Amino acid sequence: MSVLLLSLLTLAQPQHWDFTSSPEDRFADESTGGGLLFDGSADPIYIEDKSSLPENAMTVSAWVSIDEPNRWGGIIGCIQDNGDLELGWILGYNESQFTMALSTSGADDGNGKLTYLDSGDVIYQLGQWYHVSATYDGKTLQLYVDGKRVNQTESQSGSILYNKEMPFTIGGYEDDNELNKFDGRLKSVTLDARASSEKAISAQFEEGSTLKSFDPWVNTELDWLVMPYINWPMTTEMSISFETTLPTDAELQACHETGRCAQTIQSSGKRLHHFRLTGLEPNEKYFYIVKATDFRGNTIESPRLSFRTAPETEDSFTFIAIGDTQAQAEVVKRVSDVAYSHRPNLVVHAGDLVTTGSNKSHWTGHFFPAMQPLISRVPFMPVLGNHEQDAQHYYDYMVLPEPERYYSFTFGNAEFFMIDGNRSLAEQSEQLNWLEQSLAKSKAKWKFAVLHQPPYTSDSNDYGDTYHTTSTRGDMNARNIVSVLEKYGVDICFSGHVHDYERTFPIAGDKVIPWEDGGVMYVTTAGGGGHLEHFDPTNTWFGHKKANCHHLVYIAIHGDILEFQAIDEFGNLFDIITLNKGGLSR
């Protein structure tokens, strides 16, 4: 496919990008000319010369057809929407509407403030051509679809705010921590440093309105984008999720292994579907099938899958601890397959599920495929790592107890305290207060903490170069939880981040203390796939068992007994311990 970008004109004249294609790439009658087809995997077009970006007024227009909805979809723009920093503008779309965002000096709160308009009742149909425009005259922002104004606001005024690092793109939504690639077609894009009248917008629509006569056409086949996976297990409930390449009407059918207690749940008009099964029986096996049908009537159906509900207090169970699956998908697949070979009841993940949390393809093309079939039959419960970037994709995909960034859940006679090591754990912080209150209320026999950053580690250089100088030998924010874990008798703290395996001696009061006397063991299980790291060349005061390999931790609990095994990516056992609470007060 060839792309012709017409040369940039002076600021006083509109910029116009028109697209042509070779005959085999055409998707409309030849009399309409060509267009540009994006498949959702290609990078945006980057406009290097930003000197002609509008400053005080603007009109932006495009003929566009959407193949795949996106919460933060971009047609053309120069934007920064990262935390409190909100600058620039973008003409775009969400899951169902067209959008326009703008940040100006008149609404500046110190870091800029974006206003997002949407097209309201005007809902786009996949594969249909639309003329989308927005104007700003220094006081009023207006959004048009097919020549008609659909929304406006006066919440912005003055000059448009930019910074020099912001990319100027066509066919994508990109800022410092997001890259959402366009999936659909563009016929033409126009940018003018003047605000056009409603009459001019209408005339521009009429000029290209032949495109409206074509039947909807989507260059996407219905398929699984994310195969079914399971979160948040309870004794009587379970969440099952999946994502399709197109919006679908979906159905979940589930029943007990004996065929009783059949349930059917439906969901419509979405790509990402979440189903919550309720009224289940504890520690029982259930079968499930999901089906999805697109707007053309095409249907896909999953295999017959299964899961087991969470055990009750007196039941035995097993679980896997894993971390840092963010790289080397083939390694992740080996580790997850070894994990599944043990048929655990549960998986806990110590964070860094993906390399870049804001990049959707890292979820759909790496993490989820590599973790199958494990996560379609075994519920997994993660914590945020630094590589998740606190991105919306994490919260979209995961179904977890509130507030999701941190949470706790019970499983059999154990309770897991899932901590966000990226946020403050300082004294009197919201999260540390929550952790102490939750531990104080816990009646579980076995208590586990999970966070990404290790409170203690013998790593060579994450917390200081141990080959040449000193090290804190652990994350100092994470270190704030240590006294709380000791106070309430937490047995093991699992972490990731440092790509190796380490099990410390039990620790309390910054000393090695027997586990039976209240010591907490710290286990770094960051061997899920990330490139391996190295240890301090000299042992630390707390260092016990270490291994430089991709791995998982397998734990079996039956009453007072905990059996702990560390297993490498090829199924080889390399560490084993047993803990027995019989007769102990902890």
Write down all domains in the chain, each with its CATH number in brackets: 15-213 (2.60.120.200), 221-310 (2.60.40.2550), 317-580 (3.60.21.10)
Does residue 22 register a pLDDT over 70? no
The strand order across the sheet containing 73-82 reads 45-46, 168-170, 73-82, 85-93, 98-103, 114-118
Mean pLDDT of 210-215: 90
Q: With bands split at pLDDT 50, 70 and 90, how would you rate the model's confidence at 8?
A: very low
Task: Write out pLDDT tens, residues 374-413.
Answer: 999 999 999 999 999 999 999 999 999 999 999 999 999 9
Task: Write out pLDDT tens, residues 564-577.
Answer: 999 999 999 999 99
User: d(Cα 320, Cα 344) in Å, to the nearest integer?
Assistant: 7
CB within 8 Å of 401: residues ≥ 6 apart: 232, 407, 408, 409
Question: Two tokens at 584?
Answer: 């102990």
DSSP 374: H
DSSP 189-236: EEEESS---HHHHHHHHHHTGGGGGSPP--S----EEEEEEEE---SS
Q: With bands split at pLDDT 50, 70 and 90, how would you rate the model's confidence at 539?
A: very high
Task: Write out pLDDT tens, residues 220-278.
Answer: 889 999 999 999 999 999 999 999 998 899 999 999 999 988 999 999 988 999 999 99
Q: What per-residue confidence (pLDDT) applies to 14?
A: 66
Q: With bands split at pLDDT 50, 70 and 90, how would you rate the model's confidence at 502?
A: very high
Task: Give the residue from 348, 355, 347, 357 showing the smallest Cα distance to 394.
Answer: 357
**Whole-Å CA distances, 465 to 455, 458, 502:** 17, 11, 18
Q: What per-residue confidence (pLDDT) applies to 569?
A: 97
Does residue 23 register a pLDDT over 60? no
Task: Write out pLDDT tens, residues 132-168.
Answer: 999 999 999 999 999 999 999 999 999 999 998 899 9
For the ranges 61-65, 151-155, 260-264, 287-291, the lowest mean pLDDT is seen at 260-264
Q: What per-residue confidence (pLDDT) applies to 257?
A: 96
Q: What per-residue confidence (pLDDT) applies to 18?
A: 63
Does residue 475 register a pLDDT over 90? yes
Does residue 514 register a pLDDT over 60? yes
254 three-class SS: strand
Does residue 66 register a pLDDT over 80? yes
Q: What per-residue confidence (pLDDT) applies to 216?
A: 85
Mean pLDDT, all residues of the chain: 92
Share of the chain above pLDDT 90, in %: 81
Q: What per-residue confidence (pLDDT) applies to 9?
A: 32
Tokens 């699956």 — which residue? 325
Q: What per-residue confidence (pLDDT) applies to 94?
A: 92
Q: What per-residue confidence (pLDDT) applies to 17?
A: 64
Report CA dihedral (281, 283, 288, 292) to the nearest 10 degrees.
Answer: 80
Alpha helices in 410-461 (DSSP H): 430-441
Q: With bands split at pLDDT 50, 70 and 90, how would you rate the model's confidence at 48?
A: confident
Cβ pair 527, 550 in contact under 8 A: yes
Cβ pair 491, 579 in contact under 8 A: yes
Q: What per-residue confidence (pLDDT) applies to 294?
A: 92
Q: With bands split at pLDDT 50, 70 and 90, how would you rate the model's confidence at 107?
A: very high
Measured over the CA atoms of residue 502, residue 504, residue 509 and residue 510, the dihedral's sign is negative
**CB atoms near residue 555 (< 10 Å):** 23
Mean pLDDT of 355-360: 89
Q: What per-residue confidence (pLDDT) applies to 24?
A: 36
Q: What per-residue confidence (pLDDT) applies to 16?
A: 65
In this prediction the pTM is: 0.80
